[in-house]
């Protein structure tokens, strides 16, 4: 099955099936029972496994953004940085 079909099939799964699929792809039981969250996480992992994960550079940049967001809460939600 290709990635697109696998991800599409997630939409048809029950929450219990999604939790099983999560455990398959992550190797650990999910803490969440939120269906949309499980679909998002499993879809991301399926795609990352098939196409490659983030580069080390992208991973470092993401970590920098998290630190920045923690140091300046509200900075990204205030609307002042919107470009549109």
pLDDT tops 70 at residue 7: yes
pLDDT band at residue 84 under the 50/70/90 scheme: very low
Tokens of 83: 């470009």
The pTM of this model reads 0.65
Higher-confidence position of 1 and 50: 50
pLDDT tops 80 at residue 1: no
Residue 49 · residue 25 · CB < 8 Å? yes
pLDDT at 53: 76
| Mean pLDDT confidence for 35-58 | 90
Q: What angle in degrees, to the nearest 10, is found between the helix axes of 3-10 and 35-51?
A: 170
């Amino acid at each position: 099955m290709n990635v697109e079909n696998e991800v599409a099939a997630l939409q048809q799964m029950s929450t219990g099936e999604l939790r099983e699929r999560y455990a398959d792809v992550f190797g650990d039981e999910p803490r969440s029972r939120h269906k949309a969250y499980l679909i998002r996480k499993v879809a991301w992992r399926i795609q990352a496994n098939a196409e490659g994960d983030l580069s080390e550079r992208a991973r470092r940049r993401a970590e920098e953004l998290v630190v920045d967001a923690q140091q300046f809460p509200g900075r990204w939600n205030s609307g002042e940085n919107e470009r549109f």
